[in-house]
Amino acid sequence: MNSAPDIESEVVSICRDLIRIPSVNYGEGKGDEKACAQYVVDSLIEVGIAAKIYESAPNRCNVIARIPGRDSSRGGLVVHGHLDVVPANADEWSVDPFAAEIRDEMIWGRGAVDMKNMDAMILAVVRDWARTGYQPERDIVLAFFADEEAGSSYGSRFMTSTHPEVFKGCTEAISEVGGFSVTVTGGKRLYFIESAQKGIHWMKLTARGRAGHGSMINNENPLTTITEAVAKLGRYEWPQRYTKTVKILFEKIAHATGKPLNPADLRPLLSEIGPTARMIGATLQNTANPTMLEAGYKENVIPATASAVIDGRFLPGYEDELNQTIREIIGPDIEIETITRDISLEVDFEGDLVDAMCGAIRAHDPDGIPVPYLMSGGTDNKALSEIGIVGYGFSPLRLPPDLDFMSLFHGVDERVPISGLHFGVKVLKEFLEKA
């Protein structure tokens, strides 16, 4: 009779299994999480945990399971991940992106950090509970969503709007992109816990003009109009705007590094956090990046219209400023059409749940310093917030000081350290048993 695997070896095995299932989301409704969802269901049922697939469209699958707690009168905790991954061009990779190869003591593959590592940690913890007969203090709802990489319409948005009953009694949630270590100047480790997210406003700008022959003078060329507007917008220097989360984070960075804190300009401290500065720098201001241009159909024809797509991201409390500034920069004659709009989030970094996260990190890294941070992107916590569930990013990983973690999200040669997974699954287990 085979003995049950230990939680550290099992998290590695599950993570590799999940990466080998290419649950790629191509956007525009084109994705397939079915095989991945079935793997999750089978993993849960194998240890006696009932789980159900909710299919929002053909092959777009979400998995929900509820583990009853000892005190179901307490607000339940949603522990969620997403099953989809972005595409990977194998020609650009050093390894097969769906082979889950182990190299340099890391698991390589699409989804290794975004976010099949956390999916694996969740499964490893609850499978361990089931085998040992452990019952958590509060109800735990496991949610594995589809479509997070393309707006969540077939995933968390579908579940909160169509099946909100599965989250009944839940008050809090945890998910991806938080609890990872950042080694600052001087060697101290800060663990970034996500407690805020920027909002999204993707928009299409359209200029209209006079079509004509390319050989003639045309002062109403919409291509000229749109490119001038896009250039102004792309080069605009947005004012610094510091939210409460950002202020706390930079106070912690200054204290950990012994460097001076200038409350009026936090940017000098970005150099203390290494490559993570690229993402954190984007949380000190609104951003509006041009990402697409479309115009014309023939070399010698001036088109009647030209358009551009802008990826706008706004800080909590600064959505109106983003929209008003863009309008001022591009002028009154260019049309603005909203493609996608999503809320920003910011919650307090305090309370029992936060204490449990911080305590779990310190239990396994006594020198670790938990800090809140504002994320430049977004997660499925946004959908849950709209049904009253307060969410944090907490998928713990202890990372090598020289690993450019943020570049691995959607990047080539995505990989996760095995030692980081071992650390993360133990911290997650500790947290869930104290939360």
The domains of the chain are located at 7-177+379-434, 197-342
- Show the tokens assigned to 406: 């943020």
With bands split at pLDDT 50, 70 and 90, how would you rate the model's confidence at 1? very low
Q: What whole-number distance in Å separates Cα of residue 252 and Cα of residue 92?
A: 38
SS (H, E, C) the chain: CCCCCCHHHHHHHHHHHHHCCCCEEEECCEECCHHHHHHHHHHHHCCCCCCEEEEEECCEEEEEEEECCCCCCCCEEEEEEECCECCCCHHHCCCCCCCCCEECCEEECCCCCCCHHHHHHHHHHHHHHHHHCCCCCCCEEEEEECCHHHCCCCCHHHHHHHCHHHHCCEEEEEECCCCEEEECCCCCEEEEEEEEECEEEEEEEEEECCCEECCCCCCCCHHHHHHHHHHHHHHCCCCCCCCHHHHHHHHHHHHHHCCCCCCCCCHHHHHHHHHHHHHHHCCCCCEEEEEEEEECCCCCEECCEEEEEEEEEECCCCHHHHHHHHHHHHCCCCEEEEEEEECCEECCCCCHHHHHHHHHHHHHCCCCEEEEEEECCCCCHHHHHCCCCEEEECCCECCCCCCCHHHHCCCCCCEEEHHHHHHHHHHHHHHHHHC
Q: Which residue has the higher pLDDT, 230 or 406?
A: 230
CA distance 149 to 137: 32
Nearest to 83 by CA among 13, 127, 160, 25: 25
Q: What is the pLDDT of residue 251?
A: 98
266-280 pLDDT tens trace? 999 999 999 999 999
In the prediction, which pLDDT does 281 show? Answer: 97
Global pTM reads 0.94
| CA 144/CA 104 separation, integer angstroms | 29
Tracing tokens 């990047």 back to the chain, one arrives at: 411
Top-level CATH class of 7-177+379-434? alpha beta
pLDDT of residue 182: 97
Decide if pLDDT at 4 tops 90.
no
The answer on pLDDT for 239 being more than 90 is yes
Q: What pLDDT digit, counting tens, does each position of 153-183 carry?
A: 999 999 999 999 999 999 999 999 999 999 9
The whole-number average pLDDT for the span 310-329 is 98
Place of tokens 């969620």: 80
Beta bridge partners of 145: 82
- Reported as a pLDDT band with limits 50, 70 and 90, residue 3 is low
Could you report the per-residue pLDDT of 5-41, keeping only the tens digit for each?
799 999 999 999 999 999 999 999 999 999 999 999 9
Q: Pull the structure tokens for residue 251.
A: 């106070």
pLDDT digits (tens, 9 = 90+) for 49-62: 999 999 999 999 99
User: At the top level of CATH, which class does the domain 197-342 belong to?
Assistant: alpha beta
